C-alpha cells in the first residue's frame, strides 16, 4: 500500500470532514476557499484513493445504556486466530480490537451495561487466554482528527 501525497487543501478538507462528516460541499468549499464543484472532485478523489474510508455517527455510549468502558488486554497463546475472530463476530460489546506488540497480543475496547456485564464479557474473552482489564475512569481525549 502506497501513501498518497496530500496538499494543504486536502488536509484542511480532511480535518473539516473528521470534525463534521455531514458537512455539505458548500460548507467545505467555504472552509477551503474553493468552488463546491472543485471540493466535490477533491473529496471524490480522496474517497477513491482510500484516504476517506467511510463516514459514521459518533455515539455517546452512556446515553444508550453502556456506561462502562474498559480496555481488555488479551495474551493469546496460539497462532490459530479463528476462535478469536469468532469471538469478535459474536461479541458486539467489543468496539475495537488491536493486534499489538509486547506481552499482550490484543487490546480490546469494550462497552458494557454494568460491572457485572463487563465481568461476563471478559469471562468470555478469558476463555481464549489470560486477560488484564482496565476500566476507563474518563477520556480526556476520545478522538482526535488527523491533521497536517
- In the chain, ranges of CATH 1.10.10.10 domains: 8-48
Q: Of all residues in the chain, what percent carry a pLDDT higher than 70?
A: 100
By three-state DSSP, how is residue 78 classified? Answer: coil
Query: Domain 8-48 class?
Result: mainly alpha
pLDDT (0 to 100) of residue 79? 87
Q: What is the pLDDT of residues 76-132, one digit of tens each?
A: 988 899 999 999 999 999 999 999 999 999 999 999 999 999 999 999 999 999 999
Task: Look up cell 462502562; give the residue.
Answer: 68
The confidence band for 41, taking pLDDT boundaries of 50, 70 and 90, is very high
Cβ-proximal residues to 21 (8 Å cutoff; 6+ apart), any chain? 55, 56
The answer to whether residue 137 scores a pLDDT higher than 90 is: yes
- In the chain, ranges of CATH 3.30.70.920 domains: 62-135
Closest CA to 112 of 142, 133, 140, 86: 133
The per-residue pLDDT of the chain, averaged, comes to 96
Closest CA to 102 of 82, 127, 132: 132
Instruction: Report residue 18 CA to chain centroid gap.
Output: 12
The confidence band for 2, taking pLDDT boundaries of 50, 70 and 90, is confident
pLDDT (0 to 100) of residue 78? 86
> Which of 3.20.20.60, 3.30.70.920, 3.10.310.10, 3.20.20.70 is the CATH number of 62-135?
3.30.70.920
> What's the pTM?
0.87
Amino acid at each position: 500500500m502506497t501513501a498518497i501525497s496530500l496538499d494543504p487543501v486536502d488536509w484542511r478538507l480532511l480535518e473539516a470532514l473528521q470534525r463534521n462528516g455531514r458537512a455539505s460541499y458548500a460548507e467545505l468549499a467555504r472552509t477551503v476557499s474553493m468552488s463546491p464543484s472543485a471540493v466535490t472532485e477533491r473529496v471524490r478523489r480522496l474517497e477513491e484513493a482510500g484516504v476517506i474510508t467511510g463516514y459514521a455517527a459518533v455515539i455517546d455510549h452512556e446515553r444508550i445504556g453502556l456506561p462502562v468502558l474498559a480496555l481488555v488486554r488479551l495474551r493469546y497463546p496460539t497462532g490459530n486466530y479463528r476462535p478469536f475472530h469468532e469471538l469478535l463476530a459474536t461479541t458486539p460489546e467489543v468496539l475495537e480490537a488491536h493486534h499489538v506488540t509486547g506481552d499482550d497480543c490484543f487490546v480490546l475496547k469494550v462497552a458494557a451495561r454494568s460491572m457485572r456485564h463487563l465481568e461476563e464479557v471478559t469471562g468470555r474473552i478469558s476463555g481464549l487466554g489470560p486477560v488484564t482489564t482496565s476500566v476507563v475512569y474518563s477520556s480526556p481525549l476520545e478522538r482526535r482528527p488527523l491533521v497536517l
